Amino acid sequence: MLRDRFFTRGRDFLGVDTPILCGAMTWVSNPQLVSAVCNAGGFGVLAGGNTPTDILINQFKETRELTNKPFGLNLVTVSPAYMPQLELLKDLRPSHVVFAGAVPKENEIAMAKDAGAKVLCFAPTKVMAKRMLKFGADALVIEGMEAGGHIGHVSTMVLLQELLFTTPEVPVFVAGGVATGQMCAHLLLMGAAGVQFGTRFAIATESTVHDGFRNAFLRAKSRDAVTCNQIDSRLPIVSVRSLKNEGIDEFSRLQVKLLHEIDEGKTTKEEALEQVEKFWMGALRRAAVEGDIDRGSVMAGQSVGLVDKVQSVKEIIDELNDEIENTLQTVRGSLSCC
């Protein structure tokens, strides 16, 4: 297969057949979905989110029971549970740790590597990427603002030029706005070690999301996945991309309320930011678990407009592999004619 030539770097780093990652999605990337991705030849990532340590330990052990393949553990640096989760690494000893959120400290990356893990870090900007490489990251996941959930402010198209083309020293995986094998093939041709998907896997048959959540994805157009941005710099928040609904308006009202409370001295900026994070965690649970797609947070990337059917994880990965191979063969045929 021609694709084998382009899979080599990602395969070697992840220890999988197909260097396709399923991004860590809170309330979605649980042991069932993660193990299904791994058993189908891809690379699943267990979502740490704000999960209490005792529950995360059980989820990690359950995932290991469901698959004998490598999988990642995602830790969010801005989560209240981050430090306790970080302390677990020496006992859990995951093969890979994926840091998300703000830039992890150098000693925190060292803690993951001391536990025997390869470290991947999300890079929403060039500056953050260079800092994480300096701190010892083994690979980068460049994620454009087209992605779902918490996002940065730079598009995938620009990040490709800023980071993929200029960072040959480590494997670079691409995320944000990708939904087809054809696009994966061209990213591999550009030098990507692999590609991360979230939106498409979120509604796979093995995903335990509510049917209402799943159906909202199937109905949505790309333009329906909008961002919730900060209202005032006094309350700096990370933008979130989700499907447009009443919950987004509620979040805007929450920001106004918290800003008034900060001005009046009724709360601190730190306490307000914690309320913001609690809002998103609760809103995401309402949508993904309980099916409240009107007031919950239906986090989805703009690639949701390209998702028009529910498939098993194996069907998704097999389809991607076929599309990648066919596209690479087409490109080779075109070049041979020149």
Query: Which CA distances in Å does 39 have to 53, 123, 127, 212?
Result: 25, 27, 36, 27
The answer to whether residues 200 and 226 belong to one domain is: no
Give the number of C-alpha atoms closer than 13 A to the C-alpha of residue 272, restricted to the C-beta side. 24
pLDDT tens, residue by residue, 192-233: 999 999 999 999 999 999 999 999 999 999 999 999 888 888
Tell whether 168 and 231 lie within a shared domain. Answer: no
The answer to whether residue 294 sits within a structural domain is no
108 and 13 assigned to the same domain = yes
297: in domain: no
Q: Has residue 337 got a pLDDT over 80? A: no
Average pLDDT value for residue range 285-306: 96
Range with the poorest average pLDDT among 234-238, 290-294, 318-322? 234-238
Please count the structural domains in the chain: 2
Q: Which residues of 27-50 are buried (b: 16+ CB within 10 A; e: fewer)?
A: bbbbbbbbbbbbbbbbbbbbbbbb
User: Is pLDDT of 278 > 90?
Assistant: no
3-state secondary structure of 292: coil
Residue 239 has pLDDT above 90, yes or no: no
CB atoms within 10 A of CB 269: 13
Q: Would residue 213 count as lying in a domain?
A: no
Instruction: Answer yes or no: do 14 and 64 share one domain.
Output: yes
Task: Give yes or no for residue 338 having a pLDDT over 70.
Answer: no
pLDDT reported for residue 23 = 95
Q: Which contiguous run of DSSP H or E holds residue 73? A: strand 72-76
Query: Does residue 38 carry a pLDDT above 70?
Result: yes
Same domain, 92 and 52: yes
Asked, for residue 301, whether it belongs to a domain, the answer is no
Give the pLDDT confidence of 142-195 residue by residue, as tens digits.
Answer: 999 999 998 989 999 999 999 999 999 999 999 999 999 999 999 999 999 999
Q: Are 69 and 15 in contact (CB under 8 A)?
A: yes
72 and 34 share one domain: yes
**Listed residue (288, 213, 290, 283) closest to 249, CA to CA:** 283
pTM here is: 0.94
Residue 279, domain extent: 221-288
For residues 273 and 316, state if they share a domain: no
